[in-house]
A and B are shown apart, each in its own frame.
Chain A
Amino acid sequence: AQKITQTQPGMFVQEKEAVTLDCTYDTSDQSYGLFWYKQPSSGEMIFLIYQGSYDEQNATEGRYSLNFQKARKSANLVISASQLGDSAMYFCAMREGNTGKLIFGQGTTLQVKP
């Protein structure tokens, strides 16, 4: 069965520093998609970045980058130059090919300190 594991329940980072949020996954599919979402305290689920299993380059979107290591089955999110507005819960997710369902990890709460 497909599974996403986020081992860091909570993290702190100083403003303007970089932070890495860990995500490992388990799947027997050859083709899959990995996603990161941000959920601020207001509750909405905001899409951040996507990595396809066949993508050769790591995905980047502004201050977000995804450190994709296929052999290790990890898809860590790197946030550069943290801002106070980055304080939120972050979810790693994998898309199931047959049903389109997103399988989510338990999330990591990130707090950015001024």
Chain B
Amino acid sequence: EAQVTQNPRYLITVTGKKLTVTCSQNMNHEYMSWYRQDPGLGLRQIYYSMNVEVTDKGDVPEGYKVSRKEKRNFPLILESPSPNQTSLYFCASSKQGSLDTQYFGPGTRLTVL
């Protein structure tokens, strides 16, 4: 089944404790992206990747890191999480970085205490 998977789905952590949210797709998509969704602010792009080893900042990259060593994986790293990073995070992928449909993972609900 073609899909985007994220782990963990739910996470409660404390300020400053490094964490990684994994994202994997099995559709051989070139383009991958991370969004966060917050009430009143909608969905905002954090980082994106047009292909392996190519990543770039989105609208809200502060406090996040990403890497794209393999085509299928695009982990989101929070080196020192803070409470303002409490959010619902989505990973998405598409064939290419132009106008193709982006398919979303199931989301990760992160709470930073």
Contacts and interface: CB of A to CB of B under 8 A. Distances in A.
Contacts of B56: 99
A104 B107 CA distance: 16
B50 to A, nearest CB: 7
Nearest to A32: B99
A47 B27 CA distance: 15
Nearest to B107: A43
B99 A45 contact: no
Given A33-B99, A100-B31, A43 B88 contact: yes
A47 B104 contact: yes
Interface in A5-34: 31-33
Contacts of B48: 99-101
A90 interface: no
B43 to A, nearest CB: 5
B102 A95 contact: yes
Contacts of A35: 101-102
B61 interface: no
A100 B50 contact: yes
Contacts of A31: 99
Contacts of A95: 98-100, 102
B73 interface: no
Contacts of B92: 45, 102
Interface of A: 31-33, 35, 37, 43-47, 50, 52, 91, 95, 97, 99-102, 104-107
